[in-house]
Structure 1
């Protein structure tokens, strides 16, 4: 009886701790997603060319995030590492991880911009319409410039998140969101001497917002907050350079998990384009809604990974299981609630994006499928976050590849294109991939948490 009581108290404490950490992360990630959402809504409200601009923004966004996700997740993997070092009392390691992560951010931003440029040069391979290409390429070139500030912000955020100061990035992100919405209105529709730029204007607003975010967080970390025990120059040593290789060794495979998932949904955008412009626009609306809740799930995942990192630093195996249980329970409850909102509020939600009847008719049906896979999407997202806290990257990457490209894409093509079911068929395949990944990744977390060597953590 006493053992059960102690377990219950520990679980409740972890739930509260996870909520405390996850809430600012969720709100911050929501703010980031709302920037893209604001672009979509404000572009969708244009009096002419809304459907074409929505399709172009979806293509550009898919290319951007498919390539950039590797670098973003690579830097986010540092947060659990900093949490572990903090729990061990190794403040020198925390500061060196930050410095190494900034250098990795600069390196990966250059590589990412080159890859985005290469994708733009070969855009014809995506077999989109000439009108789509004309709208997509200028917008893609503009948001590619935002890679550097985006990556630097992620590196700085990993430091503050790892020290469990998750509210800092949240406040900065929300301020940048307001900035983005105001300037979206100015640059999309025009104001005074500023001409209406449509989709390209939305890209300008987003770029400026990302630059402001990065500058603000850098000022906080290096000038405002008292992080002297982590950042004192006397703590810098040669091992800091070695950490860059460690971050890349763990981060790149972890980033590839995100790449194969994002690439799956990016390929779905391409296949929607094969069906019709209307189907593509409807898909963008529905996937934006699903992505909104997914970002919230990844916030819970990030908090769970940070707590798992701290448990490792404290050599607390039961704590690892409790942290995982707490994060998964919160995800299931939250995503279940979102599924109900999607199902019963689909008509109102879709009309908030667009007024085109043909787009609404398809999008409403897709949102129903979005409601179905919400639960599995949350489980797989949190499981990945927990596994990153354990620095377990290679096998989860294999699971991701199998689920999305061994099951999801083939089924989507077969049902949606080959069998002629259309947009709904593509979403059936996506749902199957999420079911598979959620089952396998959650199983992997519990198996790894049971067997991991806490004294000599290894990546396998």
Structure 2
């Protein structure tokens, strides 16, 4: 079997078009769902800005630690992808139901150490060199929401269960509705608009409680949607001893732990770049934050394609269509590169306009504008690597992606960035050049792995997730 991209004859072209449409059909709602999830923190930031700078800074630090720890748990849940997608591809309803059970149980157990880490927020932030008073306030913000970690992970488990079967609309609608809920909860709990009903203004603490309630709302709403619409039909197995099977739970961890490591590496790598940017002064930190936020928004599109690629590739592997799985992998990678090329063009052509959406300070705008052409290259590499990561998840090859990211970020990009910025004094552009180089290494490694070790080269691949 060939691991080359699909040929151009009419039959292959029609099949490629069909697979591309399927990818888009999954990717668009998933990308919008991810933007909706980002909206929770955006609303918190806007509303806490009305409380004061101290509250805003404390919430930022609390969020940094919360995301830096819970991202591992979210990544582990992504280890369900090969189990669920391949089971769907081969029509194995029992394994899909078991996979959901294993995911929910894994999410519950993972929540315990993550909650414990939340209670250590102050100590961790102080150890990272943060202001003690801000760290204490950040811990208050985190502690009142750590109870929502189990619902958060249960939501992602149910979302992956549906997504593996190409059901993506419910998570999108639930997330959109949850954003409205989040605004109301923040207004009520931060500013005390319902003080007459016994809900006083809680400020920073209220924002944390509102965030926890919003996560719980998304979990309950998605579960209710699944039950009400019987979305489990054709992919269910009653709870039994097999639901607690150690081999099944270990399979989730075997696939998911490398994904969790990969996500954690990515999060802390970019947190480290922010700390490096902070050593260059207020203007540099502000410009870096603006550019990082812009890249986070554009990243949601290839992330959606990544989830679509994971689903489609896994489904096709499960049904034994390895050549089509290989074709889908290439289509996904090309789509990721294509949409991020458009983002790159936008960033270059609008480099002096985009920063104005964040600030009117001329020095910050000018500095951000100098970074955006570098970020344009960064965008293309980011699109390729994130879709490649989704392809490998669908295949059940989660270890290589973790290794590529660990080496590229902590073995290459961050040491180079630290040297160029702290030792050579080359400033913020050097920081982004180093990170773009790291992403380029990951992107090339992903493409090489898909070519040499993709589905068409692995006739026994489906047995890994059975």
Distance 1:215 1:294, change over 3 A: same
Distance in 2 (alpha carbons) for counterparts of 1:114 and 1:234: 29
Aligned partner of 1:81 in structure 2 is 83
Please report how far the alpha carbon of residue 123 of structure 1 lies from its aligned counterpart in structure 2 after TM superposition: 1.7
Distance in 1 (alpha carbons) for counterparts of 2:183 and 2:287: 22
Task: Indicate whether 1:383 and 2:388 are aligned.
Answer: yes
Aligned partner of 2:342 in structure 1 is 337
Deviates more, 1:121-130 or 1:350-359: 350-359
Deviates more, 1:423-432 or 1:328-337: 423-432
Please report how far the alpha carbon of residue 418 of structure 1 lies from its aligned counterpart in structure 2 after TM superposition: 2.0
Task: Kindly report which structure 2 residues correspond to 1:312-391, keeping only aligned pairs within 5 A, or say none.
Answer: 312-354=317-359, 360=365, 362-391=367-396
Q: Of 299, 303, 322, which aligns to 1:298?
A: 303
Aligned partner of 2:457 in structure 1 is 451
Per-residue CA distance 1:333-392 (angstroms, 9 max, x = gap): 211222233333445443434556665554444444433311111110000110011111
Distance 1:195 1:427, change over 3 A: farther
Distance in 1 (alpha carbons) for counterparts of 2:371 and 2:227: 46
Distance in 2 (alpha carbons) for counterparts of 1:364 and 1:131: 34
Q: Of 159, 166, 169, which aligns to 1:167?
A: 169
Task: Kindly report which structure 2 residues correspond to 1:168-183, keeping only aligned pairs within 5 A, or say none.
Answer: 168-183=170-185
Task: Indicate whether 1:18 and 2:23 are aligned.
Answer: yes
User: What TM-score results when the alignment is normalised by the length of structure 1?
Assistant: 0.89
The 8 Å contact of residues 100 and 241 in structure 1, kept in 2 or not, is answered as: no
Task: Indicate whether 1:4 and 2:9 are aligned.
Answer: yes
The 8 Å contact of residues 98 and 155 in structure 1, kept in 2 or not, is answered as: yes
Deviates more, 1:330-339 or 1:218-227: 218-227
Task: Indicate whether 1:133 and 2:139 are aligned.
Answer: no
Task: Kindly report which structure 2 residues correspond to 1:409-428, keeping only aligned pairs within 5 A, or say none.
Answer: 409-428=414-433
Per-residue CA distance 1:64-104 (angstroms, 9 max, x = gap): 22221221121123134212112212101100100110000
Please report how far the alpha carbon of residue 133 of structure 1 lies from its aligned counterpart in structure 2 after TM superposition: 2.9
Please report how far the alpha carbon of residue 312 of structure 1 lies from its aligned counterpart in structure 2 after TM superposition: 0.8
Q: Tell me the number of residue pairs that the alignment of Structure 1 and Structure 2 aligns.
A: 455
Distance in 1 (alpha carbons) for counterparts of 2:28 and 2:193: 37
Task: Kindly report which structure 2 residues correspond to 1:115-130, keeping only aligned pairs within 5 A, or say none.
Answer: 115-130=117-132
Per-residue CA distance 1:256-296 (angstroms, 9 max, x = gap): 11111111011122223333455444433332221122232
Distance 1:190 1:177, change over 3 A: same
Aligned partner of 2:4 in structure 1 is none
The 8 Å contact of residues 176 and 213 in structure 1, kept in 2 or not, is answered as: yes
Aligned partner of 1:114 in structure 2 is 116
Q: Of 247, 269, 286, which aligns to 2:252?
A: 247
Aligned partner of 2:405 in structure 1 is 400
Aligned partner of 2:65 in structure 1 is 63
Equivalent position SS for 1:149: helix
Distance 1:186 1:101, change over 3 A: same
Equivalent position SS for 1:215: helix
Per-residue CA distance 1:210-252 (angstroms, 9 max, x = gap): 1110000111223432524433428773674431110011110
Please report how far the alpha carbon of residue 126 of structure 1 lies from its aligned counterpart in structure 2 after TM superposition: 1.5
Aligned partner of 1:221 in structure 2 is 226
Distance in 1 (alpha carbons) for counterparts of 2:167 and 2:386: 22
The 8 Å contact of residues 58 and 284 in structure 1, kept in 2 or not, is answered as: no
Please report how far the alpha carbon of residue 407 of structure 1 lies from its aligned counterpart in structure 2 after TM superposition: 1.0
Aligned partner of 2:442 in structure 1 is 437
Equivalent position SS for 1:336: helix
Please report how far the alpha carbon of residue 15 of structure 1 lies from its aligned counterpart in structure 2 after TM superposition: 0.6
Distance 1:195 1:442, change over 3 A: farther
Deviates more, 1:3-12 or 1:405-414: 3-12
The 8 Å contact of residues 365 and 424 in structure 1, kept in 2 or not, is answered as: yes
Distance in 1 (alpha carbons) for counterparts of 2:432 and 2:205: 29
Please report how far the alpha carbon of residue 14 of structure 1 lies from its aligned counterpart in structure 2 after TM superposition: 0.8
The 8 Å contact of residues 84 and 310 in structure 1, kept in 2 or not, is answered as: yes
Please report how far the alpha carbon of residue 12 of structure 1 lies from its aligned counterpart in structure 2 after TM superposition: 0.7
Distance in 2 (alpha carbons) for counterparts of 1:162 and 1:151: 16
Distance in 2 (alpha carbons) for counterparts of 1:318 and 1:206: 44
The 8 Å contact of residues 315 and 454 in structure 1, kept in 2 or not, is answered as: no
Distance in 2 (alpha carbons) for counterparts of 1:282 and 1:55: 17
RMSD across aligned positions (CA)? 2.8
User: What TM-score results when the alignment is normalised by the length of structure 2?
Assistant: 0.88
The 8 Å contact of residues 84 and 309 in structure 1, kept in 2 or not, is answered as: yes
Distance 1:420 1:457, change over 3 A: same
The 8 Å contact of residues 310 and 393 in structure 2, kept in 1 or not, is answered as: yes
Q: Which runs of 5+ in 1 are unaligned?
A: none
